Amino acid sequence: MSRYPIVVLSRNPDKFKNSHPSVANQHGLTFHKGDVQNRTSLPWGDSFSHVLHAATDSTLGPGLSPIQRFQQIVEGTTNILDLAVATGARRFLLTSSGGIYGPQPTDLEAIPEDWRGSPPMDEPSTAYSQAKRAAEHLCALYREAHGLETVIARCFAFVGRDLPLDAHFAIGNFIRDALSAEQITVAGDGTPLRTYLDQTDLAHWLWMLMMNGQDGETFNVGSDQVISIAELAHLVRDLISPNKPVRILELSQQVALRNRYVPDIRKTQQQLGLSVTVPLAEAIRCTVAAAQAAMTLHKSDFPPKTRLNSEPGNTIS
């Protein structure tokens, strides 16, 4: 795995170990039961050189109130920054979100890191993105106050073997439909534009950013292969179930934001030599294979087919 011993903070280590035994049994990997919002549960007595903070309920987040989402991110980031300083960490990587840029202008092909857009401050639905902005600012404050080297990874949309198929992620919904429904359903009009980075590339990019990203800098993390939601639904269909119909409901969106959600990744590519190595079609096939293997292992059906792929608000899908 790595020559560095790694400690994973988890609210439920046993659940993770049971779900991912091949990962949990890696040499040099240990687990500490704790919650980023519960300071007393954190490993204050340990010593760390690097800290990667990615603890946010991205999948279950929509079930929280806006206040709960905001507090979870801001309080959690504050506590983990305090932990990093107290345990002697030299480097800190925060996984932020492309949602901090706010709505992407239609004439802006891809969002660069120096884009100064922001989500509207007076809309509670933007709590996730507002909290991520606050978390980034906290990193700047701790960098100045404590000399902690901080790097920001602004993450966009992803796909891979661990993608939930029953959450608010459009690509996961389409894969689930292709495997188990009579048709693949697009709740909106299919016009929003997205990119999807495979989780294998995501893991490698985050590791490289934590180890080699320039102190005080921000980097977009995502793919540059642009695809519309309608095209994505048809691609999933063609790869998994070629004869299945795709139905586009053309329902009106509650929040007409992020019709385009595309990162400019040239800075990440040029400064760190990173690239997209897993094509989208291959990433979808790997996701499908993992889902089928899990269903066979647990001898269970896919979750109920709730229609959650319209992608309103500030969740990543």
pLDDT tens by residue, 262-279: 999 999 999 999 999 999
Predicted pLDDT at 299:
58
Burial grade of 182 (CB within 10 A; 0-12, 13-18, 19 or more)? exposed
Q: Which distant-in-sequence residues (6+ apart) come within 8 Å of 77 by Cβ?
A: 36, 53, 94, 134, 135, 138, 139
In angstroms and rounded to an integer, the radius of gyration of the C-alpha atoms of the chain is 19
Give 24's pLDDT tier (boundaries 50, 70, 90): confident
In the three-class reduction of DSSP (H, G, I as helix; E, B as strand; rest coil), residue 96 is classed as strand
Tokens of 226: 């642009």
Give the β-pairing of 218-221 and 197-198.
unpaired
Predicted pLDDT at 252:
58
Sheet containing 50-53, strands listed edge to edge, beginning at the edge strand earlier in sequence: 50-53, 91-97, 149-155, 218-221
> Which of 155, 162, 137, 24 has the alpha carbon at shortest distance from 81?
137
Per the CB < 8 A criterion, the answer to whether 131 and 70 are in contact is yes
User: Of residues 15 and 295, which shows the higher confidence score?
Assistant: 15
Give 312's pLDDT tier (boundaries 50, 70, 90): very low
Q: Can you list the pairs that 107-116 forms with residues at least 24 positions away whose Cβ atoms lie under 8 Å?
A: 108/260, 109/262, 109/264, 110/224, 110/262, 110/263, 110/264, 110/265, 111/220, 111/262, 111/263, 111/264, 112/220, 112/264, 112/266, 112/267, 113/154, 113/217, 113/218, 113/219, 113/220, 113/264, 113/267
Q: How far apart are CA 173 and CA 133, in angstroms?
A: 28
Q: How far apart are CA 104 and CA 192, in angstroms?
A: 11
Predicted pLDDT at 211:
97
Give 303's pLDDT tier (boundaries 50, 70, 90): low
Residues paired with 33 in a beta bridge: 10
What pTM did the predictor assign?
0.91
pLDDT digits (tens, 9 = 90+) for 58-91: 777 678 999 999 999 999 999 999 999 999 999 9
Q: How far apart are CA 192 and CA 194, in angstroms?
A: 7
> Which of 261, 269, 136, 90 has the alpha carbon at shortest distance from 191?
261
The full set of domains in the chain, from first to last, is 6-157+196-221 (3.40.50.720)
Per the CB < 8 A criterion, the answer to whether 121 and 129 are in contact is no
